[in-house]
Amino acid sequence: MDPEATLNQLEGPAWAEPPLHPLVDKRVRKLGSVPLRELTGEDFALLIQYRRALKTAVPLAITLIEEDLFAQGIFDGDVLRELVSLGDTFWTDNPNLRSRLDRLVPVAITRIGELDGVQRELLEPRLRDYRENM
Q: Report how far residue 17's alpha carbon sits from residue 53's, in angstroms, rounded to the nearest whole number.
A: 10
**pLDDT band with cut points at 50, 70 and 90 for residue 5:** very high
The pLDDT value recorded for residue 9 is 95
Stated pTM of the model: 0.93
Please say if the pLDDT value at position 133 is more than 90: no
Cβ(81)–Cβ(101) below 8 Å: no
pLDDT tens by residue, 11-39: 988 888 888 888 888 999 999 999 999 99
Mean pLDDT of 46-58: 96
Q: Give one word for 51, left, alpha or beta, with left for phi > 0 and alpha for psi -120 to 50.
A: left
Name the DSSP class of 17: P
Spatial distance between the Cα atoms of 117 and 120, rounded to a whole number of angstroms: 5
**What does the DSSP 8-state code read for residue 19?**
P
Looking at residue 124, what is its pLDDT? Answer: 96
Whether residue 72 is predicted with pLDDT greater than 80 in this model: the reply is: yes
